[in-house]
Structure 1
Amino acid sequence: MDLLGSTVTATYARPRPTPTNFLPAISTMASSYKNRYPNYSLSNSMSLPWRPSTYYKVASVTPTLASLSKSAPGLSPAQILPFPANRTALFTRYSPDDWYKSNQQNYRESESSRRSAERLRLDTSRLIQEKDQKTRKFQSDTSKDLGERVNDITFWKSEIIHEIDQMIGETNALSEVKRRLERALAETEGPLQVAQECLYHREKRMSIDLVHDDVEKQLLQEVDCIKSCQERMKRHLEKTVAQLASNRAAQHELERDISDKHAAHRIDEKCQNLRNTSEGIGYYRGVERVDATISIPESWAKFSDDNILRSQSERAASAKLREDVENLLNVTSNEMWSQFNQVNVMFTNRISETADAKNKLQSHLAKTLQEIFQTEMAIESIKKAIKDKMAPMKVAQTRLDERTRRPNIELCRDIAQMRLFHEVQEIDDTIQALQQRLREAEDTLQMLVHTKANLEHDLSIKANSLFIDQEKCMGMRKSFPSTPRLVGYT
């Protein structure tokens, strides 16, 4: 008895063909000839590949094969030779030994056929059992392989889903940073406009106050600082938009891969659960000759692994970009706030200097006004003094004039006459000196008035500068955005 699973190599004895002078076996079951002779049409009485009457028709033509009875219709009695009279017929008959040998031969052939049939049955049973066991083993192995394939798909599905979740979180975080960057970029427009407005208003300063001072230098630096921050923000914003596109592309590849994995998982799981008794199974002729595969397990796993590696690479680049944007927002905020404070310090110092200069000008103006007043009083006193000298001059000249009328010898150059001459000269010198002093006082008064006008004009200039720096510029700079707004949180 061969072991199950081994190849059956049985040799069957081939029976010798039956001699033509013996009748064919007609006791065989009709069912054994159904597939062997598909082209014969069987009669209704017996499903045999031949007609039983054929032999008898031949026997009727060949008398030696016919019996001596009347079993061969169609022959006349004259045509049948009488046995005793036909001596030659004894030489055409078989001997008892032939008859015995023919029977023995039939027995041996029958036993050989039965042994061959028995071996065939046993080998067939063994073959059926072996093939059934092999079929079940193949089906079990296939189900096991399908189960492993389902497990592999489940593993990669979980990996891809995890990576998709990570990528979605990273994309959302990068989108939030992008919105913050956009808000921070929009917030810089206000400080830039304020700095430019300050420069524009300070151009309205007048005369000597229109100087390129530290405030103006710091304002120009503030404008450059804000524009530099805006340029860096715009570059990072472009990088962020490009990175978001790369993230979405990687996520799309993962989602397409996971969609294919879902479909393959559903199909393979369905195939794994199919049994011989399942519904929906059927023949699909030639399907085993169709090879629609486009990958092998290594390339299949590498495809998903490459998608995950690409997604991880994009996530790492996105996280790095987010960190750069965060640092940029903090750096730009600190730079703008530092420059803003520096400008405010310069404004405060300049306002203090201008206010101090204005106070000093006001003090000098007050003193100048007081001096003008006193000079005017002095002029009035000089004029009064000159006026007061008119009467003594008149008296002295009148005296001299009257003394010229003295007669003859009385016209003496006496002491009185000399004193009158000296008095007139003295009074005249005094008047000349007073008039000279009056002119000097009037010139001084004009100089003081001019100084007063200059001081008043300078005071108006300082007042205008103070109004521009203190009211307009510092008033606008109170609206500088806070640090949270500069980093895009609000």
Structure 2
Amino acid sequence: MELFGSTLSATYTRPKTSHFLPAISTMASSYRNTQPALIMNPSANLWRTNSYYKSSIAPPLTSSTQRDHFDLVRAKTALYPSNRSALMTRYTPDDWYKSNHSNYRESESSRKSAERLRKDTIRLMQDREQLTRRTQENTSKNIAERVNDINFWKSELNHEIDNMVTEIGALTEVKRRLERALAETEGPLQVSQECLYHREKRMSIDLVHDDVEKDLIKEVEVIKSCQERMRRHQDRAIAQLASNRAALHELEKDLSDKVTAQRIDDRCHHLRNTSDGIGYYRGIDRLDHSVSLPDSWSKFTDDNILLSQSERAASHKLRDEIEILLNTTSHEMWNQFNSVNVAFTSRVSETADAKSNLQSHLAKTLQEIFQTEMLIESLKKALRDKESPLKVAQTRLEERTRRPNVELCRDNPHHRLVSEVREIEDTIHKLQERLMEAENTLQNLVKTKVALEHDLSIKANSLFLDQEKCMSIRKVFPSMPRLVGYT
């Protein structure tokens, strides 16, 4: 502790030496301080006073002498407190000169280092300015090349989009024609089915599986087969249109992205150091949001174009197949329609001939029935005519049985009367048999007449069905242009 009434003594210590300026370049070794002793060992003995060294080499004191010395020092320091600091912080003149020379050397070294730093910095700024300018020019050139690449792929995409739009329109038109042709087949199919339905109303022997029915069944099968092929191609056309539109969507999306990228790169290409809107974006160079490389970027667009070209080729092939299908189905249906009409004509002619023959036979049968009926009447009259002669002959025989005794003779009159009765009875029997035969014949003729009349009604019904019902609705058939989808 300090004694009251004494002044505080200041302690002076030498400041630690350090570099004049920090190194700011890769040549920091050229700016090092030339005083390594003072820097590396701040507690060096340069600051210590001569009294310290002298006291360290003084001869050793005896115990009594040492005790007296300590008492003297304690008394001096007790009376003069400032002496205590002065003994420990005093420098020698050599120290003062050394310190000045050290400061001179350090100042000169710092100035040389600063000069080297200034020159190196100016050269560095000039080099970096040229490097920055060249880099910026190369970057602008690369951006311009990128814009040219984008323009090239844009033109390719636009060309392919135009081709795809044209192909979609052509396939849509063919699909619309196919739908119209498919709708046109419903009428002929309904006509064929109605013809089969009407011909089911034929009666008796005319309900035959003739050529007309075979051709009608074949016509229904042909129309249904054509419809099935049309529906399959229609489904394929719908699927192909979906694929075409998907490919077109990818092309348009890619084109939209390239338009946006071109606008951004074009704006970047025209940016200058004096442009408005430039600013700092710290750390942006360490972020990488890219999702593709130049090869994958160009391959992506090339793949989209190749996919579109492949879909266009498939669509064109499908259009050709649909055109062939429409022509094939129209010819098949027309040929079968004509075959059915020819079969109908032939069948109607055959039925008409059969009806005519039946009418002729019916007329002859009616004539024969009339004559047979007249014969029966004649036979009945003949039988009635034989009754009286038979009665006369039998009466005569009966009267002659009353002759008396020997007069009851079997004479020639008796023999003749017996013969007459038997002849008349035989005649009556034969006439009755013939009458029975005539009546049976008449009955057969009547049955034949009924059969002929029934068959005539059957033929008339068949003619009505084939000629009036079927042929009348088969007069109208879709024309060839309508069967291939044209209105």
- In 2, distance between residues paired with 1:480 and 1:441? 58
- In 2, distance between residues paired with 1:398 and 1:288? 159
Deviation at 1:387, TM superposition (A): 3.7
1:145 equivalent to 2:133? Answer no
Conserved? CA contact 1:184–1:486, under 8 Å: yes
Q: Give the corresponding residue for 2:352.
A: 355
Q: Give the corresponding residue for 1:478.
A: 475
Quick one: which amino acid aligns to residue 460 of structure 2?
Answer: A
Deviation at 1:420, TM superposition (A): 5.8
The one of 286, 294, 302 equivalent to 1:289 is 286
- What does residue range 169-188 of structure 1 map to in structure 2 within 5 Å? 169-188=166-185
Q: Give the corresponding residue for 2:192.
A: 195
Q: Give the corresponding residue for 1:267.
A: 264
Deviation at 1:449, TM superposition (A): 0.6
Q: Deviations over 1:455-485 (max 9, x none)?
A: 0011111111122222222223334333233
The one of 236, 239, 244 equivalent to 1:242 is 239
1:162 equivalent to 2:184? Answer no
Quick one: which amino acid aligns to residue 372 of structure 1?
Answer: I
Name which of structure 1's ranges 363-372 and 346-355 shifts more when overlaid on structure 2.
346-355
1:463 equivalent to 2:460? Answer yes
Q: Deviations over 1:329-373 (max 9, x none)?
A: 222222222222222222222222211111111111111111111
Quick one: which amino acid aligns to residue 463 of structure 1?
Answer: A
Deviation at 1:199, TM superposition (A): 2.1
- In 1, distance between residues paired with 2:418 and 2:203? 62
Q: Give the corresponding residue for 2:94.
A: none
SS where residue 153 of structure 2 aligns? helix
Q: Give the corresponding residue for 1:376.
A: 373
- In 2, distance between residues paired with 1:419 and 1:412? 10
Deviation at 1:250, TM superposition (A): 0.9
- In 1, distance between residues paired with 2:159 and 2:345? 58
SS where residue 253 of structure 2 aligns? helix
RMSD of Structure 2 on Structure 1 (CA): 3.9
Conserved? CA contact 2:178–2:484, under 8 Å: yes
Q: Give the corresponding residue for 1:228.
A: 225
Deviation at 1:297, TM superposition (A): 1.5
Q: Give the corresponding residue for 1:343.
A: 340
- In 2, distance between residues paired with 1:378 and 1:328? 74
1:208 equivalent to 2:205? Answer yes
1:257 equivalent to 2:280? Answer no
Structure 1: gaps spanning 5 or more residues: 1-12, 18-108
Q: Deviations over 1:141-192 (max 9, x none)?
A: 3333322222211111111111111111112222222222222223333322
Conserved? CA contact 1:180–1:489, under 8 Å: yes
1:333 equivalent to 2:330? Answer yes
Query: How does the TM-score come out when normalised to structure 1?
Result: 0.68
Quick one: which amino acid aligns to residue 452 of structure 2?
Answer: L
Deviation at 1:300, TM superposition (A): 0.9
- In 2, distance between residues paired with 1:127 and 1:315? 61
SS where residue 277 of structure 2 aligns? coil
Conserved? CA contact 1:333–1:483, under 8 Å: yes
Deviation at 1:423, TM superposition (A): 5.1
SS where residue 325 of structure 2 aligns? helix
- In 2, distance between residues paired with 1:127 and 1:321? 70
- In 2, distance between residues paired with 1:422 and 1:259? 134
Name which of structure 1's ranges 131-140 and 308-317 shifts more when overlaid on structure 2.
131-140
Deviation at 1:315, TM superposition (A): 1.0
- What does residue range 399-410 of structure 1 map to in structure 2 within 5 Å? none
- In 2, distance between residues paired with 1:417 and 1:378? 35
Quick one: which amino acid aligns to residue 375 of structure 1?
Answer: T
Q: Deviations over 1:11-69 (max 9, x none)?
A: xx99x99xxxxxxxxxxxxxxxxxxxxxxxxxxxxxxxxxxxxxxxxxxxxxxxxxxxx
- What does residue range 13-52 of structure 1 map to in structure 2 within 5 Å? none
Q: Give the corresponding residue for 2:64.
A: none
- In 2, distance between residues paired with 1:478 and 1:276? 87
Conserved? CA contact 1:163–1:308, under 8 Å: yes
Conserved? CA contact 1:404–1:411, under 8 Å: no
Q: Give the corresponding residue for 1:28.
A: none
Deviation at 1:398, TM superposition (A): 6.4
Deviation at 1:410, TM superposition (A): 10
Q: Give the corresponding residue for 1:310.
A: 307
Deviation at 1:375, TM superposition (A): 1.5
SS where residue 437 of structure 2 aligns? helix
SS where residue 205 of structure 1 aligns? coil
Conserved? CA contact 1:188–1:486, under 8 Å: yes
Query: How does the TM-score come out when normalised to structure 2?
Result: 0.69
Q: Give the corresponding residue for 1:55.
A: none
- In 2, distance between residues paired with 1:286 and 1:265? 25
Conserved? CA contact 1:399–1:420, under 8 Å: yes
Q: Deviations over 1:250-277 (max 9, x none)?
A: 1111111000011011112222233444
- In 2, distance between residues paired with 1:372 and 1:169? 83
Q: Give the corresponding residue for 2:45.
A: none
Deviation at 1:413, TM superposition (A): 3.6
SS where residue 289 of structure 2 aligns? coil
1:453 equivalent to 2:450? Answer yes
Deviation at 1:311, TM superposition (A): 0.7
Q: Deviations over 1:109-132 (max 9, x none)?
A: 9xxx99x989x88x9998877766
- In 2, distance between residues paired with 1:469 and 1:202? 7
Q: Deviations over 1:399-446 (max 9, x none)?
A: 6677778887697845x7766655555444444333332222221111
- In 2, distance between residues paired with 1:226 and 1:152? 56
Quick one: which amino acid aligns to residue 305 of structure 1?
Answer: D
Quick one: which amino acid aligns to residue 251 of structure 1?
Answer: L
Q: Deviations over 1:195-225 (max 9, x none)?
A: 2222222222111111222222222222222
- In 1, distance between residues paired with 2:136 and 2:474? 83
Conserved? CA contact 2:401–2:408, under 8 Å: no
Q: Deviations over 1:275-296 (max 9, x none)?
A: 4444333444443333332222
The one of 361, 365, 373 equivalent to 1:364 is 361
- Percent of aligned pairs with the same residue? 69
